[in-house]
Copies of this chain bind each other. A is one copy, B any other.
Amino acid sequence: MEPSRVENELVMLPGPVTVSPRILRALSKPIINHRGEEFAALYRECVELLKYVFQTRNDVFVLSGSGTCAMEAAVGNVLGIGQGGKAITIVNGKFGERLKDIADRYGVAVPVEFEWGLPIDLEAVKSVLEEEEDVRTVTMVHNETSVGMLNPAREIGKLARKHDALFILDCITSIGGIDVPVDKIGVDIAIVGSQKCLGMPPGLSAVSVSERAWEVIEENGKKVPYYMDLKAYRESFEKGQTPYTPALPLFFALREALEIIKEEGLENRIKRHKSMAEAVRAAVLSLGLKLFPKLNEFSEYSNTVTAVCMPNGITDAQLRGDMKRLGIVIAGGQERLKGKIFRIATMGNISARDVLTVIQALEIVLAKYNVIEGVGAGVEAARKALGL
């Protein structure tokens, strides 16, 4: 049996994630006019629910593009095209690097870089902020899935504000699963992707924009990317519209996904994510495996994806190949971490059952390659962590 052929895979990737049938069905609704009242009501409802999930009173817009599209919207609108805008870009993984690359295209990126998987040293960020002049924004990835680490949003937010710079926080894989009180932290532009903790299919992203951010963005006038022009999004939203054609089926799905979040309650959802990630960590540790990220007092293990060092005695291809044959898709390491780590995501609407399933399968595969002796310890540790 090839599970993919029967459409029965458990996708435990740090996006895309397994999507609830309730959300999948919403995709198939017939087309409506995206310039009509029905769409306006749909879009406004999505935005209201997104504000709840973002914990913000700032403006929120939905982009018909992936998280990367929203990253470019944030950086491109703040730095402008050819306006010489400067960004301090904090990097300790693949997605931090992406923000740096985008900033380099539009203006000037001043990177503060750490080895992938090492924690962010606040002193290093502080000293760069003190040295550099005319910094428009600090960019950081909140939940760096490439290394399984949660970066210090509150602390970096404070530093940015102290130096009168905007704070762009990539929350693509945290919002909806990890506590991100956007207004309390003082995030000027926060970003989320649809296919992560919101539990939706990929294709949409959303951004929140603070008053402080608008002031900077307005100065760039029309010298901002066109498809991601946030001022155009703001203007169109007055009529409940998007400036360009929205990916309509995904908006139907987004409403359904956000209603599910509202029904569960954001606080419960965050607790559930924490508990699922704790279960995975407890399980892999009980099997003698090592977690990949190195923490300091300001960083934490991610509660939406667990990055584990690849143990001796098994290759990435063996581990993930055998898992896939059991109908479970987990992630490997990206770029320089290829073969060195594997990653189990616990995002979105998955359940304790799914977590136990993936741990059980992991044990079976590790036992097959004699990395562990027999199965059971992992599930037992996960069970306890889940309070079952």
Given contacts A105-B225, A226-B105, A227-B72, is CB(A248)–CB(B201) below 8 Å? yes
Chain A positions 201-242 with a Cβ under 8 Å from a chain B Cβ: 201-204, 222-228
A206 → chain B closest CB, angstroms: 14
| A16 CB contact (under 8 Å) in B8, B31, B226, B227 | B31
Find out whether the CB atom of A247 lies under 8 angstroms from the CB atom of B72.
no
Selected from B9, B76, B248, the residue in CB contact (under 8 A) with A30 is B9
Task: Return A102 CB to nearest CB of chain B, in Å.
Answer: 5
Contact B247 A247 (CB under 8 A): yes
CB distance from A93 to the nearest CB of B (A): 16
Inter-chain contact A244/B19, CB cutoff 8 Å: no
**Is A82 interfacial (CB 8 A cutoff)?**
yes
Q: Which residue of B lies closest to A75 (CB)?
A: B226
Q: Is the interface of A mostly helix, strand, loop or mixed?
A: loop
Interface size on A, residues (CB 8 A): 61
Question: Cβ of B4 and Cβ of A31 under 8 Å apart?
Answer: no
Residue in B11, B25, B31, B71 whose CB lies within 8 Å of A17: B31
Would you give the 0/1 interface string for A106-135, flagging 1 where the beta carbon is closer than 8 Å to chain B? 100000000000000000000000000000
Contacts of A82 on B, CB cut-off 8 Å?
81-82
Q: Could you tell me if B69 and A244 are in contact, using CB atoms closer than 8 angstroms?
A: yes
Residues from chain B with a CB closer than 8 A to the CB of A36 are 329
Interfacial chain B residues near A67, Cβ < 8 Å: 244-245
Which residues in B have their C-beta under 8 angstroms from that of A193? 245
The contact of A4 among B11, B27, B32, B34, by CB within 8 Å, is: B32
- Contact pick for A27, options B27, B72, B102, B105, CB 8 Å: B27
From known contacts A28-B24, A32-B4, A32-B9, infer whether A245 and B64 are also in contact, taking CB-CB under 8 Å: no
A 1-32 binary contact with B (CB < 8 Å = 1; else 0): 00010011101010111110000110111111
| Chain B residues, Cβ within 8 Å of A38 | 4
Contact of A202 among B28, B30, B246 (CB under 8 A): B246
The yes or no answer to A360 lying at the interface (CB within 8 A) is no
Q: How many copies does the complex hold?
A: 2
| Inter-chain contacts of A253 with B (CB < 8 A) | 249
Contact, CB under 8 Å: B31 / A11: yes
Interface residue? A101 (CB, 8 A): yes
The B-contacting residues of A in range 291-345, CB under 8 angstroms, are 329
Query: Does B248 contact A249, Cβ atoms closer than 8 Å?
Result: no
A58, CB-defined interface residue at 8 Å:
no
Interface residues of A (CB under 8 A from B): 4, 7-9, 11, 13, 15-19, 24-25, 27-34, 36, 38, 64-69, 71-72, 76, 81-82, 101-102, 104-106, 193, 195, 201-204, 222-228, 244-250, 253, 329
| Sample (29) of A-B pairs whose CB atoms are under 8 Å apart | A4-B32, A9-B30, A11-B32, A16-B33, A17-B31, A18-B30, A18-B31, A24-B29, A27-B249, A28-B28, A31-B195, A31-B201, A34-B202, A64-B69, A64-B247, A66-B244, A68-B227, A68-B244, A72-B226, A76-B225, A81-B105, A81-B106, A195-B245, A202-B245, A202-B247, A203-B249, A203-B250, A227-B228, A250-B250
Extra 14 A-B pairs, beta carbons < 8 Å, given A65-B65, A202-B245: A4-B32, A19-B30, A19-B31, A25-B28, A36-B329, A64-B65, A72-B225, A81-B81, A105-B222, A105-B226, A195-B245, A195-B248, A203-B203, A249-B253
The 5 closest A-B pairs by CB, nearest first: A203-B247, A82-B82, A27-B27, A68-B244, A66-B245
